[in-house]
Amino acid sequence: MAGTAKTHNLRVDGSRLWATIAETARFGATPAGGLNRLTLSPEDGQVRDWFRDACQAAGLTVRVDALGTQYALRPGRDASRLPVAFGSHLDTQPTGGRFDGILGVLAGLEAMRALNDAGIETEAPLLLVNWTNEEGSRFAPAMMASAAYAGDFTTDEILDKTDAAGITVGDALDAIGYRGTDAVGDQAIGAFVELHIEQGPILEAEGLTVGVVEGGQGIAWFDGTITGFEAHAGTTPMPRRRDALLGLAEIALAVERIARAHAPTAVATVGEAVIGAPSRNVVPGLVRFTLDVRDPKSEVLDAIEAELRASLPAIAERRNLAVDLARIWRKEPVPFDPGVIAAVDAAAESLGLSRRRMVSGAGHDACNLAGRVPTAMIFVPCKDGVSHNESESATPADCAAGADVLLQTVLTLANAPKA
């Protein structure tokens, strides 16, 4: 194995990383410069093929599990040690950008390439992972493959999930040839590190390069249904209407009011709203909607849900509506591993990069894995804090800096004395 000085001085090739980001951006490219690469779509299949080939060209052994997650292994000097894993996801939102998740996977590939270029062998093996369906935009819930790995779902439960067209995860995997043979969870992991753009404005606003992420905030997802009565828009007097859409308007404002009352940490979003049988001249009689609630504290999630549920009966009575709100998923706030956090912090310090400790506002695969393996995350800035948008952007320098922190963190973990 190379000496300590050699590994401490090792850096990624930032130009090669930037070129790789541009190269993969052709899969699902949109006219506005973003990406539409829904999980298990043909475009997702294309980038998966590219990733497999690129990993194999770097001398990595690639395996695929039953939910399509790709694992690319670089051997270590001591095969008895569990691999240090890193990565993220390659799927995107329908109008997504080039960096969300993608940076973590491609920076991991660049770290492998940098180690190859320098002829460095680590003590523990290294494992680069592309998790299936992090985004949750086609199949819900989000981060389902890492959740299955962590034991939150069975493989069969995930395979049976359907998209809006009724296509199951299993059928979608088969369509692109990515239903693997490895059992989910069989690939052991010693530690996991995920590099990601912040998806928020803090680092950029404070002029910092690296976020040392100490954990992820809790998330609760709800599906709501408001039932009123469809009636003629021209002949039904306003006082006699049972307008489901106006009911949603009141509920959305209640969501905003309640979340603001738990500032500055809480956020809540009505992200989808669908009118049943919409027509220009019909009072909406049925509306379905979704609600996303987040906060770093479990008790605040509880309070927001309780306060919202307490407000619903008055809205329903006032507008003569039936309102149903079902919580479909909840992820408790997740603390990351102190040892892995310390390794990230030390890596950023050794590289002379400005940094701060922070909590992730978004959910990530790392948040699922934290309950099973020692885990932490690295953030780098994104322009204006914008993500899940075609205008999502990060600088080459910040991407390279994040990849350098990832590389040094992985080296620290992989070369640590054996427990």
Residue 352: which CATH number?
Answer: 3.40.630.10
d(CA 160, CA 310): 34
Q: Residue 5: pLDDT above 60?
A: no
- Boundary-marking domain end, from 315, 331, 347: 331
- Boundary-marking domain end, from 331, 364, 395: 331
Whether residue 74 is found in the same domain as residue 200? yes
Per-residue pLDDT tens over the stretch 78-109? 999 999 999 999 999 999 999 999 999 999 99
For residue 280, what are the domain limits? 218-331
Whether residue 109 is found in the same domain as residue 205? yes
For residue 312, how far is the Cα from the chain centroid?
Answer: 31
For residue 267, how far is the Cα from the chain centroid?
Answer: 17
pLDDT more than 70, % of the chain: 99
Whether residue 57 is found in the same domain as residue 163? yes
The domain total for the chain is 2
Whether residue 136 is found in the same domain as residue 73? yes
* Residue 321 within any structural domain of the chain: yes
Whether residue 263 is found in the same domain as residue 407? no
Whether residue 49 is found in the same domain as residue 90? yes
Whether residue 341 is found in the same domain as residue 321? no
Whether residue 159 is found in the same domain as residue 275? no
Full-model pTM: 0.86
* Residue 85 within any structural domain of the chain: yes
Average pLDDT over residues 230-249: 98
- Boundary-marking domain end, from 311, 331, 351: 331
Tokens 């998966």, located at residue: 48
Whether residue 258 is found in the same domain as residue 392? no
Whether residue 155 is found in the same domain as residue 293? no
* Residue 166 within any structural domain of the chain: yes
Question: Alpha carbon of 301 to those of 140, 141, 308: distances in Å?
Answer: 20, 18, 11
d(CA 120, CA 76): 10
Per-residue pLDDT tens over the stretch 138-164? 998 899 999 999 999 999 999 999 999
Per-residue pLDDT tens over the stretch 288-332? 999 999 999 999 999 999 999 999 999 999 999 999 999 998 889
Whether residue 134 is found in the same domain as residue 237? no
Three-class secondary structure assignment of 44-78: HHHHHHHHHHHHHHCCCEEEEECCCCEEEEECCCC
Whether residue 249 is found in the same domain as residue 365? no
The span from the first CA to the last CA of the chain, in angstroms, equals 19
